[in-house]
Amino acid sequence: MTDDKMTMPMNGDHSDDMMMHGGHMMHMGNLRRKFWISLVLTIPMLLMSDMMGMKLPFQITFTGSDWVVAVLGTILFVYGGAPFFSGAKGELQEHKPAMMTLITMGIGVAYIYSIYAVIANNIFQVHPLVTNFFWELATLIDIMLLGHWIEMNAVMSAGSAVDNLAKLLPSTAHKLVSGKIQDVAISELVAGDQLQVKAGEKIPADGNLVSGETSVNESMVTGEARQVTKRSQDKVVGGSVNGAGTFEMTVTGTGDSGYLAQVMKLVSDAQQSKSSQENMADRVAGYLFYAALFVGILAFFIWLFVDNLTMALPIAVTVFIIACPHALGLAIPLVVARSTSIAASNGLLIRNRDAMEQVKGLRYTLMDKTGTLTEGNFKVAAFKSVVPEQNDQEILALFAALENGSSHPLAVGILNAAKQKKLSLQQASDVKQLTGVGLQGVIDKTTYRIVSGAYLDKQQVSYDRKAFSKLASAGNSVSFLLKGKNVLGYVAQGDQIKPAAKNLITSLKEQNITPVMLTGDNEETAKKVAQQLGITEYQAQLLPEDKERLVRRYQKKGKVMMVGDGINDAPSLARADIGVAIGSGTDVAIDSADVVLVKSDPNDVVEFLELARKTTRKMTQNLWWGAGYNILAIPLAAGILAPIGFILDPMVGAVLMSLSTVIVAINALTLHVRREKTE
Instruction: Provide long-range contacts, Cβ within 8 A and 24+ apart, for 469-473.
Output: 469/524, 471/381, 471/382, 472/522, 472/523, 472/524, 472/525, 472/528, 473/524, 473/525, 473/527, 473/528
- Find residue 452's DSSP bridge partners: 479
Please tell me the distance from the alpha carbon of residue 556 to that of residue 485, in angstroms, as a whole number: 40
Q: Are 559 and 577 in contact (CB under 8 A)?
A: yes
Please tell me the distance from the alpha carbon of residue 607 to that of residue 612, in angstroms, as a whole number: 8
Distances, alpha carbon 516 to alpha carbons 298, 367, 536, 540, 657, in Å: 58, 6, 8, 11, 48
Taking 3-state DSSP, the helix, strand and coil percentages for the chain, each rounded to the nearest 5, stand at: 50, 20, 30
Task: Decide if 368 is catalytic.
Answer: yes
- Find residue 174's DSSP bridge partners: 183, 196
Closest CA to 470 of 525, 399, 539, 413: 525
Helices then strands, each counted (H, E), the chain: 21, 24
Q: Are 594 and 578 in contact (CB under 8 A)?
A: yes
Tell me the residue length of the chain. Answer: 679
Please tell me the distance from the alpha carbon of residue 245 to that of residue 234, in angstroms, as a whole number: 14
Q: How far is CA 524 from the centre of its chain?
A: 38
> Which residues lie closer than 8 Å to 223 by C-beta, 6 or more apart?
347, 584, 598, 599, 600, 601
Which among 193, 206, 282, 368 is annotated as catalytic? 368
Under DSSP, is residue 638 helix (H, G, I), strand (E, B) or coil?
Answer: helix
Residue 74: other Cβ atoms inside 10 A: 14
Closest CA to 355 of 621, 20, 595, 605: 595
Count of alpha carbons within 13 Å of 479, Cβ hemisphere only?
29
Please tell me the distance from the alpha carbon of residue 264 to that of residue 409, in angstroms, as a whole number: 28
Q: Which residues carry out catalysis?
A: 368
